[in-house]
């Protein structure tokens, strides 16, 4: 018995040390830093200083720092782009999941493999591809001009459109796989029953198919929303100077202006949104489980 | 009759599916095609086939021809960052594989208090946005007085890669028959012998698959590495990032294609191993 206990302790020790020291403690320090005063030369002063949040959210401040609504506006932009990314990923992946689920067993494995594969190719190279495509002298503009559809290059790059497109592209496997796992289990006899009972295609879709595949859509949406909200690489390249997301502000606070407490506060704003989303989902799932049991 | 009713939808859905695959692969395909374009200024305008851009990666830029010296990196520098990347990926993926596998076995084969806590904790590194983990590690390392360099990158990678390996190996363990392990124990084999002779061979495809996926994720990681890399410890993605910030030049495109080929090959092997039934 004790031997079994020792084996268990031995197996769990490394992960406990790694996640304890290099994950939980650092996250805790970020929380502490967000309430400290930024030092003159980039460090921190160990004094209570809630104004990092004051700068962002706009509650009473001291004389030196002013509330600037730009930080909230940028956060709102990040939320908007993250939501749009989720929306368009859903629209693109939903029918694709049905397409794959209706392939024969041999093709299914191959197509699934093809859809998963881009996740493991360099993120930067996938963004680079869209830089080449969207530039004023890029492939899309060159193609449209060749076909005489436009006389002047379209301003595709450095826009909210480019940022959302880039994020949809890099997060497609994240959205596709949970939806597919759900669609694959769909019971087609329910759909046939609905049709036999006289439901029209719209009724069958909204009252049978959509509710049955909702869990996969919700899971995919959460997995896409989280990295989209904190993203800074995609807006840095495809958004240029025109599109700022909170991730870009965090990056600059840490590596350029060296105001670590302010950057920590911004990072916690992102974390708070993530935790909120996960909590809503947990409560919702819990309630549904209770409802199913009743 | 049912088939007939679905047919127009079927054709539409098929067309859509092909469009979906095209959306995923055309941008990558274009990079490959245009890495052979001789036009040094505008990559979108095809002026002829060349292998020059690949040659610059291995031999450096020649003094003649249309090379833009400021945008062409020397082979020593390119292979230096590639060596860094491989060193980090190899160390981080190896350690993460051991840790992730041990954790997966503990959670699959033992019952203990706090199991649900561990299950939730292991998902967290995959759910916390990269940028948050990156700055948290930066503050931690600087605060602890640990100099930023390859070592800090390796530690940072182990932190989140362990979770990925855990997920892959757990899936393998969940689908495994435990009767062989019980038989081995009944026949008098100790826990270590049972693990080495019975459990490990059965979960091996999962372990190797997990290692390869961790290796590729480490090799491609940008955001976390970006915050915890020191001055002299640039990895390949950070190098590409710096090149992209200076402007788009054909040499990056050629390098991108080589990286693409490598990650596609390794990821394919990893995915095939993961999906293979024993």
How close is the nearest chain B Cα to the Cα of A269, in Å? 10
The structure tokens listed for A143 are 């193609």
User: CB–CB of B158 and A22 under 8 A?
Assistant: yes
Same structural domain, B14 and B129: no
Domain range annotation of chain A: 80-259
Closest to A164 measured CA to CA, from A114, A100, A108, A90: A90
CATH number, position B199: 1.10.3720.10
pLDDT, tens only, A240-282? 878 889 999 999 989 888 889 999 999 999 999 999 998 888 8
Strands (E), B3-116: none
Q: Please name the member of B24, B106, B140 whose beta carbon is closest to the beta carbon of A29.
A: B140
pLDDT of residue A66: 63
Same structural domain, B3 and B87: no
pLDDT exceeds 70 at position B3: no
Q: Is residue B51 part of a domain?
A: no
Say how many C-beta atoms besides its own lie within 10 A of residue B57's C-beta.
19
Same structural domain, B128 and B204: yes
Q: Please name the member of B2, B128, B237 whose beta carbon is closest to the beta carbon of A122.
A: B237
Distance CA B97, CA A6 (A): 21
Q: Is residue B179 part of a domain?
A: yes
User: CB–CB of A8 and B106 under 8 A?
Assistant: yes
Alpha carbon separation from A247 to A165, A205, B124, B152 (Å, rounded):
17, 38, 19, 22
How close is the nearest chain B Cα to the Cα of A61, in Å? 26
Same structural domain, B20 and B113: no
- B184 touches A91 (CB < 8 A): no
List chain B residues with CB under 8 Å of A202. Answer: none
Residue with structure tokens 């999962």?
A: B206
User: CB–CB of B259 and A125 under 8 A?
Assistant: yes
Q: Provide the number of structural domains found in chain B.
A: 2
Q: Is residue B214 part of a domain?
A: yes
- Residues A105-126, mean pLDDT to the nearest whole number: 86
Indicate the DSSP class of residue A46: E
CA B152 from centroid of its chain's CA atoms: 18
Q: Is residue B33 part of a domain?
A: no
User: CB–CB of A15 and B102 under 8 A?
Assistant: yes
User: In CATH, which of 1.10.3720.10, 3.30.565.40, 3.40.50.1820, 2.40.100.10 is domain A80-259?
Assistant: 1.10.3720.10
Same structural domain, B90 and B17: no
Strands (E), chain B: none
pLDDT of residue A293: 66
pLDDT of residue B134: 95
pLDDT of residue B1: 39
Give the nearest chain A residue to B271 (CA atoms): A113
Least confident of A235-244, B82-91, B263-272: B263-272
Q: Please name the member of B10, B31, B132 whose beta carbon is closest to the beta carbon of A230.
A: B132
pLDDT of residue A30: 94
pLDDT of residue B63: 55
Same structural domain, B151 and B260: yes
How close is the nearest chain A Cα to the Cα of B156, in Å? 7
pLDDT, tens only, B180-200? 888 888 888 887 888 888 888
User: CB–CB of A23 and B133 under 8 A?
Assistant: yes
Distance CA B224, CA B216 (A): 15
Q: Is residue B151 part of a domain?
A: yes
Alpha carbons within 13 angstroms on the beta-carbon side of residue A183 total 21
| Burial (CB count <10 Å: 0-12, 13-18, 19+), residue B55 | middle
pLDDT of residue A79: 95
Q: Please name the member of A12, A128, A227 whose beta carbon is closest to the beta carbon of B106.
A: A12
Alpha carbon separation from A97 to A115, A186, B15, B131 (Å, rounded):
10, 11, 13, 30
User: CB–CB of A132 and B31 under 8 A?
Assistant: yes
The structure tokens listed for A253 are 């606070």
pLDDT of residue A175: 94
C-alpha dihedral (B213, B219, B223, B229), degrees to nearest 10: 140
Q: Please name the member of A22, A133, A142 whose beta carbon is closest to the beta carbon of B137.
A: A22
Between helix B2-34 and helix A105-116 the angle, nearest 10°, is 40
Indicate the DSSP class of residue B196: I
pLDDT exceeds 60 at position B4: no
Same structural domain, B264 and B185: yes
Same structural domain, B17 and B113: no
Q: Is residue B42 part of a domain?
A: no
- Residue A142's pLDDT band, with cuts at 50, 70 and 90, is confident
Least confident of A100-104, B6-10, B201-205: B6-10
Distance CA B130, CA A227 (A): 7
Same structural domain, B177 and B100: yes
Same structural domain, B12 and B115: no
pLDDT, tens only, B208-241? 888 988 998 999 899 999 999 988 889 999 998 9
Distance CA B247, CA B237 (A): 15
pLDDT exceeds 90 at position A234: yes
pLDDT, tens only, B15-66? 999 999 999 999 999 888 888 888 777 776 778 888 888 888 887 766 555 5
User: CB–CB of B24 and A115 under 8 A?
Assistant: yes
Range of the domain at B21: 1-26
């Amino acid at each position: 018995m004790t031997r079994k206990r020792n084996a268990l302790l031995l197996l769990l020790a490394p992960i406990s040390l790694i996640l304890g020291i290099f994950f939980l403690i650092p996250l805790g320090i970020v929380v502490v830093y967000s309430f400290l005063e930024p030092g003159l030369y980039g460090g921190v002063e160990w004094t209570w200083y809630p104004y990092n949040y004051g700068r962002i959210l706009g509650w009473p401040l001291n004389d030196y720092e002013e509330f600037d609504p730009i930080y909230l506006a940028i956060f709102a932009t990040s939320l908007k782009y993250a939501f749009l990314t989720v929306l368009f990923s859903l629209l693109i992946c939903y029918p694709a999941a049905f397409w794959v689920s209706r392939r024969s067993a041999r093709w299914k494995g191959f197509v699934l493999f093809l859809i998963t594969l881009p996740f493991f190719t360099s993120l930067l190279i996938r963004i680079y591809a869209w830089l080449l495509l969207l530039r004023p002298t890029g492939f899309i503009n060159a193609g449209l001009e060749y076909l005489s559809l436009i006389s002047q290059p379209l301003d595709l790059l450095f826009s909210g459109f480019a940022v959302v497109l880039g994020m949809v592209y890099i997060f497609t496997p994240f959205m596709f796989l949970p939806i597919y796992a759900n669609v694959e289990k769909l019971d087609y006899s329910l759909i046939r029953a609905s049709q036999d009972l006289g439901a029209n295609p719209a009724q069958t879709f909204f009252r049978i198919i959509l509710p049955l595949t909702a869990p996969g859509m919700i899971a995919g949406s959460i997995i896409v929303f989280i990295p989209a909200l904190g993203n800074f690489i995609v807006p840095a390249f495809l958004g240029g100077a025109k599109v700022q997301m909170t991730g870009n502000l965090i990056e600059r606070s840490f590596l350029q202006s060296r105001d670590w407490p302010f950057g920590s506060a911004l990072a916690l704003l992102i974390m708070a949104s993530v935790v909120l989303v996960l909590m809503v989902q947990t409560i919702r799932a819990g309630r549904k489980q209770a409802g199913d049991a009743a | 009759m049912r088939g007939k009713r679905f047919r127009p939808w079927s054709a539409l859905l098929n067309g859509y599916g092909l469009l979906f695959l095209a959306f995923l692969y055309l941008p990558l395909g274009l990079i490959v095609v245009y890495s052979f374009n001789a036009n040094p200024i505008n990559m979108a305008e095809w002026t002829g086939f060349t292998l020059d851009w690949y040659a610059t990666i291995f031999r450096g830029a020649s003094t003649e021809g249309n090379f833009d010296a400021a945008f062409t990196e020397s082979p020593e520098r390119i292979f230096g960052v590639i060596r860094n990347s491989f060193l980090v990926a190899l160390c981080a993926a190896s350690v993460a594989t051991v840790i992730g596998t041990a954790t997966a076995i503990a959670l699959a084969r033992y019952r203990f208090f706090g199991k649900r806590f561990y299950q939730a904790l292991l998902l967290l590194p995959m759910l916390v946005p990269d940028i948050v983990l990156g700055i948290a590690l930066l503050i931690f390392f600087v605060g602890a007085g640990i100099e930023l360099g390859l070592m800090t990158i390796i530690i940072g990678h182990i932190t989140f890669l362990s979770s990925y390996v855990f997920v892959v190996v757990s899936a393998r363990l969940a689908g495994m028959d435990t009767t062989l392990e019980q038989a081995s124990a009944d026949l008098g084999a100790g826990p270590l012998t049972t693990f080495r002779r019975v459990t490990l061979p059965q979960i091996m495809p999962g372990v190797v698959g997990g290692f390869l996926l961790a290796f590729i994720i480490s090799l491609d990681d940008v955001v976390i590495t970006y915050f915890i890399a020191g001055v002299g410890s640039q990895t390949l993605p950070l190098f590409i990032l710096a090149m992209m910030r200076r402007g788009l030049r054909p040499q990056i495109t050629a390098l991108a294609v080589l990286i693409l080929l490598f990650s596609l090959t390794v990821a394919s092997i990893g995915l095939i191993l993961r999906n293979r039934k024993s």
